[in-house]
Amino acid sequence: MSIQPKDATILVVEDNAQNFVLITRLLAFLGVKRCEWKASGWQVLEFAETLPHIDLILMDIFLPEEDGYQVHEKLRAHPRFKDTLIVAVSADVSTENMERARKAGFDGFIGKPIDPDRFPNQIRSILQGEEVWQLD
Amino acid sequence: MSVMAGVTERPRIPTTGMRGGLGRTLLTAFLVLAIVPLSTMTWYATRRERHDIQREVTAKLSSVATVTETYIRRWIEYHSGELALLAALPDTQRIILKLAEGSKTAASTGSTQEETARAELNARLRALMEHDTAFQYLALLDASDRVLASVTSESRGDSPCSGESGTWRSALTVEQTITAPEEGAKVLAKLVGQLDPCALVRDVEQLNGLGTTGEVYLVDRYGTILSRGQKVSSPGIEAALNGQDSEGLSYNYLGTPVIGVYRWLPELEVALATEQSQEEAFASTDNVTAAVVAATLVVAMVTSIIAAVVTRQITRPIVQLTESALNIAYGDMEQYVHVRSRDEIGILAYVFNHMAAELKALYDDLEEKVAQRTALLQKANYQIQRRAIQLATTVEVSQAATSILEPEQLLREVVRLVQESFYSYLYVGIYLLDEQKQQVVLNESRGGSKELAALKSRPVPVGDSSVIGQAALAGEPRIVKWDAEQAQALFSTPFVRAEAALPLKMREQVIGVLDILSTEEEDFDADDISVLQNVANQITIALENARIYVTEREAARRLRELDRSKRRFLVNMSHELRTPLTNIIGFSRLMLKGIDGPLNEQQERDLHIIYHNGQHLLGLINDLLDISQIEAGLMELEFREVNLGDLINSVMATASALVRGKDIELRQELQPELPPVQADAARLRQVLLRLLANAAKFTERGHITVRSWVDDDHVLVSVSDTGIGIPPEDQERIFEQFEQGSLENGRRPEGAGLGLALSKEFIEMHGGHIWVESQVGVGSTFIFTLPLRRTLSTGGTQ
């Protein structure tokens, strides 16, 4: 279940364009070549279905339209994304929120603002099948 | 029971049981009276009879015993006589003498003369035996008792009649001595005869004449009945065997009760018993007893019937009387008892009926009097009650005034209370002055018809001719009385008789009018008006209170709204400020990492400045937001059980980055097994990190030590450094907002002093304290406490 960053396709659901740019830059630094962007919670599933392959979804929680939990629920209900890695990326860095994400069925949690020093390693770990639950 | 028919709803009176009881008692008395003397007399007569019969029978038995005794003696004498007769015969004498001579001379037996004499004697003895069958054995003995001749009966032998007593046997042996005629009294020989005891016994037992059960028998000294060889024992026989004659009631050898007479015959050594069974003897008395018992039963039966009839005769009217008396007791005065008899019970019934009628009359009279008195009393009480109700209404209005804060609800309740306090208050309304102060407007009303309500709902100009207008103008109560016609015209009901209008006055200003319509002309006297004015004043105060309450509630609502917007603002601020800043930090870091390509030295230095200032600004904004939230009372801590050791370990790991490049050793001295504390882990971590960051900031070399230990009911945590130290005058000031240590040494440390102020807030919200102990040039130790059992938290909840 270990995926090399260069082979990975990652979908970033993030409403802030600059955050997305920062994330993609860091992912590129890590070696990720295929990175897709969805800028709201609207029709994420429909968008994801158009992609031939997804290894990891980085999901913001505060999103316009539907929030991260609703989107996550819809994705999980679809047989294709039942087991896809979905990691919450949230500015709400309370333990409560993290526990909620864990209960909802997310595969990991990364607190915002993302730390450029650590983020690449966090993603690498996740792709290698390790769990990452970090508030800061 | 017919009397009871009309009052079935009352508890059933158990008269049936009562009637039965009285009847039974009387019946029993009758029976006892009839049977007891009869029984006593019967018993006594029977007893006398038995006694007489016993005496008579005893006398009869006694004479039979005497006769028998005599008979026995005679019997023996008779047979003795027979023997004497034989002996007296000259032939016999001659033969005997011859035989006696022969025996005397020598033992020369076989002389022919002797043989002949013997044969002759034998023949004579045999003849005697045949003549007198009572002899069993006859013998001739010489002077020395040798048997010269003997004859024995065939029947001789052991028979039960012989008994065991030798005396009895010898008594039945008779002898006749034979003397020589010439030699005077010299005994030559003896003629001996033994009598058959059975013959005697048989004769004795046949001697009777004592009815079918009479018996005579002989008992030898060992208690054996001679004719049967059977042992017998009874008190009479025992006494006789002891030599005493006795008589009386006893039992015979079969155990049958008998009357007996017992004699001891000493010369025969036998007891003579004469007995007759009691059954036979007393047969006559038994018949008498049976007759008497039968008679008693008949008498009892007849008595019962008579008693039943008489009892019924007596008790029926009594039961009727009782039922009627009970009905009166239950309050039913309409009682009449029908008893026709002219005896005492008839008189009693008559008197009872009379008494019942009297009682009813008295009762009715009493009820009427009670009604009159009650009416008087009610009248007298009316005024008192009226005052009491008015007072109660005043109190209730005043309670409503203090407890109800909604003006509409208050007026509704007050109007209800006033209208319900008196049934004569047809209608109650409250008018309030409108904003132009030109008219009063109905705000709340109660009672009356729809038409009345419609008529009353019109606004009333202040100072118009109505009582309401007048009262509003003058600020004084106004009363008017109406007749039916006026009432019909004004209020479309003929029942209104009086109207009162009472001003609602607030500091001499009329703010409204309390209007009351009553059906009673006298309802509004001076006292009433005084009380109602009091109620009106209460209403005024309550209205004022309610108005103030509404105003304040509005103010409170606005304040809450303000709080909400403040919180929203803070959250938005936080987001709005942080989003661009995190981008500045993120991207500058991205560049510093060389992701966007290599940097020259100058670019890298400049980027560092951007990055660090960004970080600093972010920290400042975070602190500022925390402080604002605390001050707005919006900060809420999340208390959970926290393992202090784990928390310190994780903070130390982060802190190691703070001292990178400095000659500082990080130390950790924790008491083993620190107990868990109730705390907000994130905030506690923040405090510890700040203290460590401060220590690292002001220390160039040496060590920074974190300690933790338990003291009483607190856990203490300290952070010590070997830095520049804080002068005493600054040691309290540093915990205030935007204050830092003294700047006299010329160094200005980076950053504003929000950190310690925030730490102080957080620790105090945990119920703990924070302070510093320091010596300039040696180092500082920051210490904070956490209660082991959390007791208070300011400004936040869980």
What pLDDT, in 10s, does the model give residues B213-256? Answer: 778 888 877 777 877 777 787 877 888 888 788 888 888 777 78
Interface contact flag, A95 B682, Cβ < 8 Å: yes
Among B180-184, B280-284, B392-396, the range scoring the smallest mean pLDDT is B180-184
Domain harbouring B233, CATH code: 3.30.450.20
Q: Is the ipTM of this complex over 0.85?
A: no
Are residue B492 and residue B514 in the same domain, yes or no? Answer: yes
- Asked if B638 lies within 8 A of A16 by C-beta distance, the reply is no
Top residue of A16, A21, A25, A114 to mutate, by most chain B CBs within 10 Å, is A25
Find which of B572, B575, B582 to mutate to test the A interface (most A CBs within 10 Å of its CB).
B582
Mean pLDDT of A43-66: 89
Q: State whether B589 and A117 contact (CB < 8 Å).
A: yes
Q: What is the pLDDT of residues A76-98, one digit of tens each?
A: 999 999 999 999 999 888 888 88
Distance of CA B200 to the CA centre of its chain: 89
- Return the structure tokens found at B604: 């890298």
Rounded CA gap, B713 and B788, in Å? 5
Measured over the CA atoms of residue B477, residue B478, residue B482 and residue B488, the dihedral's sign is negative
* Residues B49, B55, B60, B65, CA torsion sign: positive
Q: Which is higher by pLDDT, B13 or B731?
A: B731
CA B183 to chain centre: 121
| Chain B residues within 8 Å of chain A (Cβ atoms) | 575, 578-579, 582-583, 585-587, 589-590, 593, 595-596, 638, 681-682
Q: What is the pLDDT, as a whole number, of residue A107?
A: 94
B115 or B610, higher pLDDT: B610
Write out the residue range of the structural domain in which residue B425 sits.
413-524
Nearest CA in chain A to B586: A116
Which domain-ending residue is among B250, B282, B314?
A: B282
Greatest Cα-to-Cα distance within chain B, rounded to the nearest angstrom: 214
The residue type found at B675 is P
Binning pLDDT at 50, 70 and 90, where does residue B111 land?
low
Spacing of C-alpha B594 from chain mean position: 95
Which tens digit of pLDDT belongs to each residue from A110-120? 988 888 888 99
CB contact under 8 A, A113 and B589: no
Q: CA–CA separation, B632 vs B698, rounded Å?
A: 32
Return the residue in B572, B584, B590 with the most chain A beta carbons within 10 A, the one to mutate for interface testing.
B590
How many domains are there within chain B?
4
B143 lies in the same domain as B206: no
> What are the chain A neighbours of B597 within 8 Å (beta carbons)?
none
Q: Do B638 and A18 touch (CB under 8 A)?
A: no
- Beta carbons of B258 and B277 less than 8 angstroms apart: yes
Q: Is B792's pLDDT higher than 50? A: no
Residue B5 has what pLDDT? 42
Lowest mean pLDDT among B596-600, B737-741, B785-789: B737-741
Is B218 contained in some domain? yes
User: Hey, which of B183-192, B271-280, B498-507 has the most confident mean pLDDT?
Assistant: B498-507
B246 occurs within a structural domain: yes
Residue B670, C-beta contacts closer than 8 angstroms, at least 6 positions apart: B644, B645, B648, B706, B707, B708, B709
What's the mean pLDDT in B1-28? 54
Lowest-confidence segment of A80-89, B665-674, B782-791 by average pLDDT: B782-791
A19 and chain B: CB distance < 8 Å anywhere?
yes
Burial of B17 (0-12, 13-18, 19+ CB in 10 A): exposed
Cβ of A94 within 8 Å of Cβ of B682? The answer is: yes
Of B142-146, B345-349, B724-728, B781-785, where does the model show the most confidence? Answer: B781-785
Pairing of strands B498-506, B270-277: unpaired
Give me the helix-helix angle, B90-105 and B15-88, nearest 10°: 70
Give chain A positions within 8 Å (CB) of B571.
Answer: none
B91: number of Cβ within 10 Å: 11
Same domain, yes or no: B648 and B766: yes
Higher-scoring residue by pLDDT: B371, B196: B371
- The answer on pLDDT for B3 being more than 50 is no
For B771-794, the three-class secondary structure string (H helix, E strand, C coil) is EEEEECCCEEEEEEEEECCCCCCC
Q: How far apart are CA B244 and CA A39, in angstroms?
A: 152
Other beta carbons within 10 angstroms of residue B334's beta carbon come to 13
Instruction: Indicate the residue among B524, B558, B591 that finishes a domain.
Output: B524
Structure tokens at B740: 């830092």
Asked whether residue B697 falls in the same domain as residue B755, the answer is yes
Give yes or no: residues B639 and B782 share one domain. yes
Whether pLDDT at B18 is above 60: no
pLDDT of residue A86: 94
Distance from CA of B580 to the nearest CA of A (A): 9
Quote the pLDDT of residue B781: 94
Specify which residues B151 forms β-bridges with. B138
Q: What is the CATH number of the domain that holds B426?
A: 3.30.450.40
Interchain CB distance below 8 Å, A116 and B682: no
Q: What is the pLDDT of residues B767-777, one digit of tens each?
A: 899 999 999 88
Q: Of B575, B590, B681, which has the smallest distance from its Cβ to A116's Cβ?
A: B590
- Which residue in A has a C-alpha nearest to residue B595's C-alpha? A29
pLDDT at A57 over 90: yes
Coil, helix or strand at residue B609:
helix
Q: How confident is the model at residue B21 (pLDDT cuts 50, 70, 90)?
A: low
Q: Can you tell me the distance from the alpha carbon of B360 to that of B331, in angstroms, rounded to the nearest whole number?
A: 10
Contact list, A28 vs chain B (CB under 8 Å):
595
Average pLDDT, chain B: 81
Q: Does residue B108 carry a pLDDT above 60?
A: no
Residue that is last in its domain, among B176, B199, B222: B199
CATH number for the domain spanning B661: value is 3.30.565.10
Class of the domain covering A5-134: alpha beta
Model confidence, pTM: 0.41
DSSP state of B13: P
Average of pLDDT values for B452-456?
83
Instruction: Select from B574, B581, B583 the residue whose CB has the most chain A CBs within 10 Å, as the one to mutate to test that interface.
Output: B583
Q: What is the mean pLDDT of residues B202-215?
A: 73
- The predicted pLDDT at position B752 comes to 47
Which of the two residues, B356 and A104, has the higher pLDDT score? A104
Is residue B148 in some structural domain? yes
pLDDT of B739? 58
For chain A, what are the domain ranges? 5-134
Q: Mean pLDDT score of chain A, rounded to an integer?
A: 89
Which chain B residue has its CA at the smallest distance from A17's CA? Answer: B583
d(CA B778, CA B698): 12
Query: What pLDDT shows up at residue B669?
Result: 92
